[in-house]
Structure 1
Amino acid sequence: MLMGNADTLMLSQYSDNSVAAVGVSNQILSVIIVMFGFIATGTAVLVAQHFGAKEFKKASEVSVVSIIVNIVFGIILSLGIVLFTNQILNAMDLPPELMGEAATYLRIVGGFAFIQAIIMTIGAIIRSYGFTRDTMYVTIGMNILNVIGNYFFIFGPFGFPVLGVEGVAISTTVSRFLGLLAITYLLFKRINHELPFKKVFRLPIYHLKNLLKIGIPSAGEHLSYNTSQMLITFFITMLGTEALTTKVYAQNIMMFIFLFSIAISQGTQIIVGHMIGARQFNSAYHRCLKSLYLAIGISTLMAIIVSFFSDPFFGIFTDNQEIIKLGGTLILLTIILEPGRAFNLVIINSLRAAGDVRLPVYMGIVSMWGISVPLAYFLGIHFGLGLVGIWIAFIVDEWIRGIVMLWRWRSRAWEKKAFVTPTTNEEAV
């Protein structure tokens, strides 16, 4: 999260328009990352379940299949971004003054997006084996390199060329490439049994089928969320560049609130996956609920603390008093929003860990497109509430979905969905 946040913070010292341009580009890139994530999500679930069942050979086979698939898929999507950059940005109805910088950022970062695909997949594998600190250290290193690169390209010390958005894009890409080298080294260092890359074309096809069976529905939910967010961002462009910039700043600050729920949900997914693989269903049931209460408590507390200091936080990014005032209101609404988000993050990740992936997708599509998008338009645009109306739409969406997900977890229907089952020779190719 800090990589995007550092880009926004450092560019805010350069130009508010640059912040808005990069914000829209990142909104588009987040959809691409979701596409990469469907393999990474399936990988995390299957490796964790096989690891919990002590099926280490199958865990390594799944790991190799997922890496190869995401490399190919990542290259295809990266080429698509480069070839259709202008068409994508035109579809967002971006203000003309933002088009040049947004296109530059999208081409550079999007053109090398396949690097992120590989990092996500290897990171999911390493975390599922329990080496969560490794991925943290790699990410910290990437952040440090990114900040250093941003500093040189934005502020131009020692006669360095000031490249603005282009420099930030280069810095982000180079730091990710170096992060890829580091996490690939850790993969081979930490996994103490063979990763059968040489046998990739002889590996059982059911691994890929299971990856897609989990990953595609999971990606559907993420894709639904991100495309709905893109449409809502389109609504916000109707409100002007200042509103768009406020939204970017507010969501960057909100990251420091919901990152705790994300961290808890990811840790819970690994633990629940191990428990499901070991057939410890009762332990998995209670682990999810304990994590949920913890995530709700921490996210609510953090939202309250951040709301008290919202003016100084926004003051880090801008001295525009209208942005600071409106942003403060959005952070205040976040106190209601974040507990609802915690429900979805923790319970949906636990349902995925158990292999129960379809209901979250169906509910996500219904709620995001049936509630969040139309409500955002009517409150924000039609009734003139602007960003406040759009934030209210977010709150309604998160809470309705969250309550349904809690009902699903309590029903324990997920106990029949585990993927760790005996396989037959006919399933191999």
Structure 2
Amino acid sequence: MASIRRVCDSGIFECPSRVTGEAEREISVPSKVNIGVFSLSWPIFFQLGFTYCMGLIDVWALGHISDAAAGSVGSVNTVTTFVLMMFSFMGQGGSLVYARMLGQGETRKAEQCYFVAAILHLVLGVVVSATLFLWAEDIAGLLGLKGEHLSYGASFLRIVGGSCLLHSLVAMLGGVMAANGRTRAAMFAAIFTNVVNAAAIGVLVLLPAGPRWGVRGVALSTALATAAGLLFSVWLVFRRLRIRFRRPADPRQVRAHGALLLAFSLPTMLEPAFWQAAQIATTRIIAAVGEDELAARMYTLSVTNMIGMVSSALSQGLQIAVGHLIGAGDLDRIRRISRLTRWWGVTVAFVLALAAALSGSWIMAGFTDSPEVAEAGRLLLWCGLLYLPASSLIMTTASTLRAVGQVNYPALTGILVLWGVFIPLAYALSLPLGLAILGVMIAMAVDENLRALLLTARWRYVSTPRRAGRLVPETAEVPPVGV
């Protein structure tokens, strides 16, 4: 019995509440929200996976149109992917704020924050959508597209970029559902979006009797699927889950909530922006090394990204759970679940990286017939053992730090180490010193492990009993019983 209680208290798995009657009615909101890390994380993993599959379906359909269409859209997709990633992280930043409020039992305050967040996402979405729609051709031209490629790229960017408002609102509603422990609902929304996208591509692009609109049809399918996903998310939030949005009566509350949301969201958005720029620089370095290495890198990314999705889902689940617990002031349980989740994350990442490395020959055979590309790919998969476990530790530790209010440290650490250590070291090892692709992988291992070390040290510093009291919001009230 004692062992079962220890597992429940760890917060890794969902366990039934042990309170009933008056005690259950008096306890703050965390007891009514599922904050088991694994229970929150597995739907997030499938949500990320289905979002990833949506991009794969688009690429597959474009490949059936022409190589020129696929290449052109691939170029402008660097812009749309960056923008959508920013909206996604903005939604996660908002989710942190809601979770802390719900953890404190301040449901009305959280509902006001939902309303303010919706306004922020709406305004930013309109600005970005208008920019990409009006200047689609200019942006495609800046990316080096000309002639037929420019026409394909501008057409896709005008439609998909113009629908960024929809993505912004989907990200906001996803953050609301996540903060309320409803990650499965967000997963169902992602599944529904994928189904609509696949069906629309079949009708608008691939069906012989259909209009066969080509690139424009793929872009319209993506926009229509996003609109359908938004409507489904709205139905989930307001009808199925009955989550309320309240307009603050006092304009000062609007400004206060907006400032709080931006304080949590901007650093969360900043780090992936610099990370994306670092990936572009890395690609240029690898391209200078050789075409075989570049191709191998592109192929192996599809494998390592899937491993990264597991770590990302686990870190997002942990972030939601810790957000609730910090609002409730349960510091001891935060230490336990963060320690166990970090351990599980590193272990799972190592096992998956080892499995990928051992299956390297089989994996690369599915991508290429070139012995040189296959050999480089196998080397890259073995190098995953050097950095993928550390990457998982970075994600889970950074999520814990952000959830307790330490939002600036992970962002600044990531930016400084990426651009101050990784990029210069990758260039020096791969080109001047002649280590080629291995030099880039060594630099990546140094970068990931150094950041993991710095973040872990920061968490140990702020979570010591002497300093941990500063992490608890002033209005937090510790629940009378465990959650």
Compute the TM-score of the two structures, normalised by the length of structure 1: 0.86
Cα offsets for 1:363-421 (capped at 9, x unmatched)? 11111111222233334455565554434333322211111111111112584665844
User: Which residue, 262, 265, 270 being the options, matches 1:212?
Assistant: 262
Alignment of 1:230-249 (within 5 A): 230-236=280-286, 246-249=296-299
Give the corresponding residue for 2:121: 70
State how far apart, in whole Å, the 1-side matches of 2:245 and 2:84 are: 25
Task: Verify the 8 A CA contact 2:114 2:246 in the aligned structure 1.
Answer: no
Alignment of 1:75-114 (within 5 A): 75-89=126-140, 92=143, 101-114=152-165
State how far apart, in whole Å, the 2-side matches of 1:199 and 1:147 are: 44
**Are 2:235 and 1:185 aligned?**
yes
1:141 is displaced (CA, Å) by 1.6
1:221 is displaced (CA, Å) by 1.5
1:263 is displaced (CA, Å) by 1.0
State how far apart, in whole Å, the 2-side matches of 1:307 and 1:181 are: 42
Give the corresponding residue for 2:53: 2
Q: Which moved further from structure 2: 89-98 or 111-120? A: 89-98
Alignment of 1:28-427 (within 5 A): 28-89=79-140, 92=143, 101-152=152-203, 156-192=206-242, 194-197=244-247, 203-236=253-286, 246-314=296-364, 316=366, 323-383=373-433, 387-412=437-462, 415=468, 418=471, 420-422=473-475
SS in 2 for 1:303: helix
SS in 2 for 1:159: coil
Cα offsets for 1:104-135 (capped at 9, x unmatched)? 43333222122111111110111110111000
State how far apart, in whole Å, the 2-side matches of 1:236 and 1:93 are: 20
State how far apart, in whole Å, the 2-side matches of 1:261 and 1:176 are: 25
1:234 is displaced (CA, Å) by 4.3
Q: Which moved further from structure 2: 141-150 or 177-186? A: 141-150
Unaligned runs of 5+ in 1: 424-429
* C-alpha distance 380-2 of structure 1, shift in aligned 2 (>3 A): farther
Task: Verify the 8 A CA contact 2:61 2:218 in the aligned structure 1.
Answer: no
SS in 2 for 1:355: coil
Amino acid at match of 2:442: I
Rg larger in structure: 2
Cα offsets for 1:311-338 (capped at 9, x unmatched)? 5545555556654443333223223221
Amino acid at match of 2:323: G
* C-alpha distance 233-3 of structure 1, shift in aligned 2 (>3 A): same
Task: Verify the 8 A CA contact 2:326 2:472 in the aligned structure 1.
Answer: no
1:166 is displaced (CA, Å) by 3.9
Q: Which moved further from structure 2: 213-222 or 273-282? A: 213-222
1:65 is displaced (CA, Å) by 0.8
RMSD: 3.2
Amino acid at match of 1:331: L
Q: Which moved further from structure 2: 213-222 or 197-206? A: 197-206
SS in 1 for 2:208: helix
Cα offsets for 1:166-203 (capped at 9, x unmatched)? 43333222211110110011111255463124859574
State how far apart, in whole Å, the 2-side matches of 1:323 and 1:259 are: 25
Compute the TM-score of the two structures, normalised by the length of structure 2: 0.77
* C-alpha distance 378-144 of structure 1, shift in aligned 2 (>3 A): farther
Task: Verify the 8 A CA contact 1:49 1:419 in the aligned structure 2.
Answer: no
* C-alpha distance 380-21 of structure 1, shift in aligned 2 (>3 A): farther
Amino acid at match of 1:278: A
Unaligned runs of 5+ in 2: 1-51, 477-483
Paired-residue identity, %: 28
1:298 is displaced (CA, Å) by 1.1
Q: Which moved further from structure 2: 156-165 or 345-354? A: 156-165
Task: Verify the 8 A CA contact 1:36 1:73 in the aligned structure 2.
Answer: no
